């Protein structure tokens, strides 16, 4: 397969996954900001949505103050934000168009129709409920792309590169949301208690679509350490770091088997998966959740670079 084709498949998936994640982050922020909290705290929610999305710097270069409307516009559809949902879908479609021959008709149809639909939307007149519907639509669209890929693609290198993109992006997103939110999970905050904490924790879980999963796994009320455990180490939870790395390793191994060659990417991914497997959440809290997340984000970046070096250029 052409390196450029692999590259486009990889980034196509990453951008769809990122659009999905941004929709979840925005939903969480909208929900939290509707709670009876102080105005500064509400503003904090919107600011943390920006940090979680990794575009605080881009935002502050354009605006001096954080406001719900500005952040929503910036994350959802601003053309000036290179990774707004709208731009993610635009780039995803551009990558898909680049490699139409490597996508199935169903996948192409889904992303192309989504892009055409999105262009018909009038964002400027969108009220909160229309925005909520839009975010819902983004999530559905990513499910359709994920599902059509799963159902219709041949299990060959094209499929593995596309999957690799999804899981690397997802691992990155999970690490990022924890890194921004780690302070609400730290023990000193547990004392505060009350409904607001619950909402904060629930929002994190919702952003990774894991609120229901939590209850199924732990059979108890939300506890910070359990939340971190679910998101980092639980390999049954499809968005956990452990599970993303399991999938990354599996797809890299499929590539290595097909090409008859293991490489740096395989070794690096395996060592990260092993670290997650052999780790306990108590240790992570002891040595610092923030530090752990920071390292994870750095490692994700490094793995992305190594994959690119090995296959995509």
Partner 1 sequence: MSLNEMHAEDGSVRRPYARVAEWLTTISPEQLERRRVEAELFYRRGGITFAVYGDAQGEERIIPYDIIPRILSTQEWSKLSAGLEQRVKALNAYLRDIYGPQEILKAGIVPPELVWRNPAFRPEMCGIEAPHGVYIHIGGIDVVRVDADDFYVLEDNARTPSGVSYMLGGREISIRLMPELFRSHRVAPVENYPNELLATLQSVAPRGASGEPTIALLTPGQYNSAFYEHSFLADAMGVELVEGYDLFVRDDIVYMRTTEGPKRVDVIYRRIDDDFIDPLVFRPDSALGVPGLYGAYAAGNVTIANAMGTGAADDKVIYSYVPEFVRFYLGEKPILKNVQTWRCREADDLRYVLDHLAELVVKEVHGSGGYGMLVGPHATKEERANFAERLKAHPDNYIAQPTLALSTCPTFVSNGVAPRHVDLRPFVLTGANGVRIVPGGLTRVALREGSLVVNSSQGGGTKDTWVIEC
Q: Which residues bind partner 1 (CB under 8 A)?
A: 1-6, 94, 97-98, 100-101, 108-109, 112-113, 116, 157, 161, 255, 259, 311-313
| Alpha carbon separation from 239 to 32, 276, 287 (Å, rounded) | 22, 14, 23
In 3D, which of 263, 243, 240 has the Cα closest to residue 253? Answer: 263
* Rounded Cα distance, 15 and 169, in Å: 8
Q: Around Cβ 57, how many Cβ atoms within 10 Å?
A: 9
Considering the complex, what minimum distance in angstroms separates the CB of residue 151 from partner 1?
19
| Closer residue to partner 1, CB minimum distance, 57 or 313 | 313
**Minimum distance, C-beta of residue 308 to partner 1, in the bound complex (Å):** 11
Residue 63 or 259: the one with the smaller Cβ distance to partner 1 is 259
Q: Which two tokens stand for residue 293?
A: 């997340």
Q: Taking the complex as a whole, how short is the minimal distance between the CB of residue 160 and partner 1, in angstroms?
A: 10
Please state the closest distance from residue 2 (CB atom) to partner 1, in A.
Answer: 5
Which is nearer to partner 1, 152 or 274 (by Cβ)? 152
Backbone angles phi, psi at 121, to 5 degrees: -70, 145
Q: How far is the CB of 49 from partner 1 (least distance, A)?
A: 31
Closest CA to 175 of 14, 51, 293: 293
- CB 121 to partner 1: min, Å: 17
Residues 6+ apart with CB under 8 A from 214: 205, 222, 226, 227, 230
**Closer residue to partner 1, CB minimum distance, 70 or 94:** 94
Nearer to partner 1 by C-beta: 1 or 126?
1
What gap in Å lies between CA 282 and CA 19, rounded to an integer? 32
If the CB atoms of residues 5 and 200 are measured against partner 1, the closer one turns out to be 5
CA angle 148–262–250, rounded 5-degree value: 35
Crossing angle, helix 264-277 and helix 289-307, to 10 degrees?
160
């Amino acid at each position: 397969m052409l390196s450029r084709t692999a590259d486009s498949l990889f980034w196509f998936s990453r951008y769809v996954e990122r659009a999905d994640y941004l929709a979840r982050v925005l939903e969480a922020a909208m929900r939290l900001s509707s709670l009876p909290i102080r105005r500064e705290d509400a503003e904090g929610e919107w600011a943390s949505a920006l940090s979680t999305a990794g575009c605080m710097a881009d935002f502050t270069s354009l605006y001096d103050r954080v406001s719900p409307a500005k952040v929503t516009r910036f994350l959802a559809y601003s053309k000036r934000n290179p990774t707004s949902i709208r731009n993610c879908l635009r780039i995803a479609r551009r990558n898909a168009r680049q490699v139409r021959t490597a996508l199935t008709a169903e996948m192409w149809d889904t992303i192309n129709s989504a892009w055409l639909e999105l262009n018909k939307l009038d964002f400027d007149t969108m009220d909160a409920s229309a925005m909520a519907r839009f975010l819902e639509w983004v999530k559905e669209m990513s499910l359709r792309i994920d599902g059509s890929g799963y159902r219709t693609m041949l299990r060959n290198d094209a499929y593995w590169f596309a999957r690799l993109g999804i899981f690397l992006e997802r691992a990155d997103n999970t690490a990022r949301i924890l890194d921004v939110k780690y302070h609400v999970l730290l023990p000193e905050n547990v004392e505060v208690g009350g409904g607001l904490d619950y909402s904060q924790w629930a929002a994190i879980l919702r952003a990774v679509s894991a609120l229901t999963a939590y209850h199924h796994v732990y059979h108890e009320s939300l506890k910070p350490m359990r939340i971190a455990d679910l998101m980092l180490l639980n390999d049954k939870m499809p968005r956990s770091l452990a599970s993303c790395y399991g999938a990354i390793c599996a797809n890299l191994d499929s590539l290595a088997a097909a090409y008859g060659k293991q490489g740096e990417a395989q070794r690096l991914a395996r060592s990260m998966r092993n670290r997650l497997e052999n780790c306990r959440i108590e240790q992570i809290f002891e040595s610092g959740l923030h530090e752990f997340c920071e390292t994870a984000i750095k490692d994700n970046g490094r793995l992305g670079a190594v994959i690119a070096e090995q296959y995509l250029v």
